[in-house]
C-alpha cells in the first residue's frame, strides 16, 4: 500500500540491493529511500516550515560529501505552458528513483489558463489552484537518487504545448481530478 518506502538500517545488512529488489518485486515502481540511523530529511516528504535549524538534517547536509549516507539528486525545470495529457503521462510514468516533485505548472488550455501548485511524494499527487495565476511559466524541482537529469529535462520539455489554443478543454479533467475542488470543464456546458 506504500507510496514511498524508507529502508532504514541499510548499514547493518550485507546486501541492501537485495532488499530493494525484493521491495521492487512486491510493489514495482515504488520509490525506495535508503537510510542509516533514520537519516531522512523531512523536507523530502513535507514542505519545510520557516524556523530555526534544530539539528535536523537539511538537503545541504544530504548533499555534503562528508556524510556517509545517500545523496540526493535535484533537477530544476523552468518552461512554458504544459499539455495536460502529456504532463499527466509524465507523472504516471515517473522515472525510477524520483521521490518528490514540487513547484508550479502552467496550463493555457481554453477555459483553463492558470497555474497550479504541484506536490508529489512517491505516488501521492496533488494539484492546487495557484494564487498567482498571472505568472506564465512552469517551475518545478524534482528530487530523487540516480536521476538522469538530461533525460528528465527533455521529457518535461516534450510536455510543453506550443499551440495551447488547439488543446481540448476536456483534457484538463486529468489534472482537475487531483485538485481539492471538483472538476469543472467549460466546454459545452458539461461538468
Tens digit of each residue's pLDDT (9 = 90 or more) over 139-174: 999 998 888 999 999 999 999 999 988 988 888 888
Residues 92 and 139 in one domain: yes
Nearest partner of 11 among 70, 60, 59, 58, judged by Cα: 70
**Structural domain contains residue 171:** yes
pLDDT at residue 65 above 60?
Answer: no
Radius of gyration of the chain (CA): 19
pLDDT, average across residues 60-70: 50
Q: Is residue 185 part of a domain?
A: no
Residue 88 within any structural domain of the chain: yes
Question: Does residue 92 surpass a pLDDT of 50?
Answer: yes
Q: Per-residue pLDDT for 105 more than 80?
A: yes
Residue spans of alpha helices (H) in 29-172: 59-63, 84-92, 149-158
Number of domains in the chain: 2
CATH number of the structural domain spanning residue 96: 3.30.1220.10
Same domain, 40 and 77: no
Domain that includes residue 166, residue range = 73-176
C-alpha grid cell, residue 33 = 529511500
Cα torsion angle, 8, 76, 129, 47, sign:
positive
- Give domain status of residue 182, yes or no: no
- Please give the average per-residue pLDDT across 61-90, as a whole number: 77
Amino acid at each position: 500500500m506504500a507510496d514511498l518506502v524508507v529502508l532504514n538500517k541499510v548499514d547493518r545488512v550485507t546486501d541492501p540491493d537485495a532488499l530493494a529488489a525484493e521491495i521492487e518485486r512486491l510493489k514495482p515502481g515504488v520509490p525506495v529511500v535508503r537510510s542509516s540511523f533514520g537519516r531522512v530529511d523531512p523536507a523530502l516528504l513535507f514542505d519545510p516550515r520557516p524556523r530555526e535549524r534544530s539539528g535536523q538534517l537539511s538537503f545541504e547536509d544530504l548533499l555534503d560529501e562528508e556524510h556517509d549516507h545517500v545523496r540526493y539528486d535535484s533537477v530544476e525545470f523552468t518552461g512554458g505552458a504544459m499539455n495536460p495529457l502529456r504532463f499527466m503521462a509524465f507523472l504516471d510514468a515517473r522515472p525510477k528513483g524520483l521521490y518528490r516533485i514540487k513547484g508550479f505548472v502552467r496550463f493555457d488550455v481554453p477555459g483553463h489558463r492558470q497555474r497550479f501548485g504541484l506536490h508529489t511524494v512517491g505516488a501521492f499527487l496533488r494539484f492546487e489552484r495557484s494564487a498567482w495565476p498571472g505568472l506564465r511559466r512552469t517551475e518545478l524541482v524534482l528530487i530523487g537518487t540516480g536521476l538522469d537529469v538530461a533525460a528528465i529535462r527533455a521529457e518535461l520539455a516534450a510536455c510543453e504545448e506550443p499551440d495551447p489554443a488547439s488543446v481540448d478543454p476536456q483534457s484538463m479533467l486529468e489534472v482537475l481530478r487531483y485538485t481539492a475542488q471538483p472538476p469543472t470543464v467549460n466546454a459545452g456546458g458539461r461538468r
